[in-house]
């Protein structure tokens, strides 16, 4: 009986350790890995093309209809550029929020462009069709544009002013209220 209790205690301890590792893994392991801070999203010298205040990297991608779209097509127009994938629940949820925003505000600025990251066109088209979404979708099937923008997490959104300068970067899901506030700041 004593052996069964000991085995049970070990099982509970291992499960608790696994739970902590899954929940807090990066923070718990950081001291042992010698990392003192999270990886920066841009070089310390600010030279990254994806840093706020720098020009938005040029790109040309196909949309779901096969038409080519260039970021330069939106010269003099503020743009909200969001990188996402159907595989990420948060990123997929962001598309619904962006679509709802676009439906509620019509063609109000900024122009919304969503860039799907490295998924097959048929998967993306199926997702957009099932949701009945009208938000413009561009296909970054090779991930080159995502790399140019330094994407590490989905969704990630860039607020680009009419001069083509990145004014703000937001990582994570934005509510409609956040989109409204950040859009108003962009348009000032």
Over its length of 188 residues, how does the chain's per-residue pLDDT go in tens digits? 677 788 777 777 776 665 555 555 444 444 443 333 333 333 343 333 468 999 999 999 999 999 999 999 999 999 999 999 999 999 899 999 999 999 998 877 899 999 999 999 999 999 999 999 999 999 999 999 999 999 999 999 999 999 999 999 999 999 999 999 988 888 88
Residue by residue, what is the 3-state secondary structure of 150-173? CCCCCCEEEEECCCCEEEEEEECC
- CATH number of the 60-187 domain: 3.40.30.10
pTM: 0.73
pLDDT value for 12: 72
Residue among 150, 127, 147 at smallest CA distance from 137 = 127
Give me the phi and psi of 144, to 5 degrees please: -65, -40
Q: What is the pLDDT of residue 78?
A: 94
Q: What per-residue confidence (pLDDT) applies to 16? A: 66
pLDDT at 79: 95
Domain ranges of the chain: 1-38, 60-187
* pLDDT at 41 (0 to 100): 36
């Amino acid at each position: 009986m004593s052996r069964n209790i000991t085995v049970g205690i070990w099982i509970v301890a291992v499960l608790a350790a696994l739970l902590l590792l899954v929940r807090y893994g990066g923070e718990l392991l950081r001291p042992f890995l010698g990392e003192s801070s999270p990886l920066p999203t841009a070089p310390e010298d600010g030279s990254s093309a994806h840093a706020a205040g720098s020009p938005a990297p040029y790109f040309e991608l196909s949309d779901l209809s096969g038409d080519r779209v260039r970021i330069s097509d939106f010269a003099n127009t503020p743009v909200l550029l969001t990188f996402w994938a159907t595989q990420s629940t948060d990123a997929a949820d962001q598309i619904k929020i962006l679509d709802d925003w676009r439906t509620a505000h019509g063609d109000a600025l900024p122009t919304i462009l969503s860039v799907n990251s490295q998924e097959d066109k048929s998967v993306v088209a199926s997702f957009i069709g099932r949701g009945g979404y009208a938000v413009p979708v561009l296909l970054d099937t090779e991930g080159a544009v995502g790399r140019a923008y330094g994407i590490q997490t989905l969704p990630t959104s860039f607020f680009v002013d009419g001069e083509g300068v990145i004014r703000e970067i937001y990582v994570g899901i934005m509510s409609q209220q956040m989109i409204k506030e950040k859009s108003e700041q962009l348009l000032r």
